[in-house]
Copies of this chain bind each other. A is one copy, B any other.
């Protein structure tokens, strides 16, 4: 048999066994694996152990791997190409203020709405225990019906995602050979809306740092020196003001080198999303897009680079007033990058831009904090086509191909350290209250999420079959 043969059985298995799937999720949700609070460290260890034991029982070579913080779970299962690296995290956010929950955040309940739809109320129901279990349940279903997986799978679960992932990068570096794969998939994101699945396929890169403009050798009295002495706050204001032109374009030399035009296909797809840019801005008290005039809000955020001033300080900023010309003024600045923009070259261009505008009696000191290139998966690749088709057939709707304006640390780490692109597919909804009281995960997200992974694994396995095998699949 080919793996495709088992798909309908695997889907049926998930439908039949939904209660058991839920019970396994509830068991995991009962473990208060709050990573940021050291007193829950044993619970984090317990969650990791539960997951590792389960994966071992499914035939994975699985282990709990200690780190300086909470442990990782790493589990390997053989299978045909491609080799998929799945990432999820078993730790959860704190539950404060606990009095706003309808019940114990670690005693999951299945609740029902007026329309009959159901959801799971518990900390971690959505972020990320419910989501990571959709993948594990899909693997279980495949194993149950076929004794195998449609692809080779490595599962990698982290326990520090909600507390800054301090062990992630060292761990990836130390185990980069073991974690090699053809494609990474991550289940920690949302649907586009309740009817439309989503694939996050592009992330802006970034580079950030600080510029410190130094003028007089000491703070001066603005009465005794004002007018004649160079004021670093004035110099800084002029430099920062010069970073954008009136059309919202960034003025740095060579800034747009490597920025690719948005493809007609993507432009059309994003227009179909009917994203309400005005509402997006209105929600945060704004009225009109501040970016390049010829691009929509979505394009400004997902596909266009920008410069942002993230902080400015200098002079007297306390209560009252002090007539000072400060010796220095500081700005924290970051750039969001797209396409092939190079963080190092962008930062150099910024330094040149500042120095070119510096009066002869001021100096500038820079502290670059590093950055990362943008990530842009090929939306027309075979793998992406497989994932898209699988999601479309499960949900009856073409998945939204979405971008992310910000970096996602794990995606960057996987790309930078393992050299792997990560496709992000998740089934959360925007009203899941992740990080808030009464976090929930729709039963439909959980059930159809698992079904989606059954199809995705199958589709990925099928697209990797040798040419000519397509006829075989249709059998």
A residues whose Cβ falls under 8 Å from a Cβ of B: 204, 206, 208, 210, 215-218, 220-231, 233-234, 236-238, 240-244, 277, 280-281, 284-292, 297, 300-301, 304-306, 308-317, 320-326, 329-330, 332, 334, 336, 359-361, 369, 404-407
Q: Is the CB of A361 within 8 A of B287?
A: yes
Q: Is the CB of A291 within 8 A of B233?
A: no
Q: Is the CB of B308 within 8 A of A325?
A: yes
Q: Is the CB of A308 within 8 A of B228?
A: no
A222 to chain B, nearest CB (A): 4
A237-B237, A313-B313, A321-B369 known; A308 and B226 CB under 8 Å?
yes
CB neighbours (8 Å) of A289 from chain B are: 228
Closest residue to A302 on the B side, CB-wise? B227
A301-B227, A317-B311 known; A360 and B288 CB under 8 Å?
yes
Pick the residue among B224, B236, B316, B336 that contacts A227 (CB under 8 A).
B336
For the complex, give the distance between the alpha carbons of A126 and B229 in Å: 28
CB neighbours (8 Å) of A336 from chain B are: 222-223, 226-227
For the complex, give the distance between the alpha carbons of A238 and B288 in Å: 18
For the complex, give the distance between the alpha carbons of A226 and B10 in Å: 43
Q: Is the CB of B223 within 8 A of A312?
A: no
A202 to chain B, nearest CB (A): 12
Q: Is the CB of A317 within 8 A of B313?
A: yes
Q: Is the CB of A286 within 8 A of B229?
A: yes
For the complex, give the distance between the alpha carbons of A322 and B209 in Å: 10
For the complex, give the distance between the alpha carbons of A204 and B226 in Å: 10
For the complex, give the distance between the alpha carbons of A332 and B311 in Å: 16
Pick the residue among B224, B240, B326, B330 that contacts A405 (CB under 8 A).
B224
Across chains A and B, which 7 residue pairs bring their CB atoms closest together, nearest first? A223-B406, A217-B285, A311-B315, A227-B306, A237-B240, A241-B241, A287-B361
A407 to chain B, nearest CB (A): 6
Q: Is the CB of A286 within 8 A of B241?
A: no
Pick the residue among B206, B281, B323 that contacts A406 (CB under 8 A).
B323
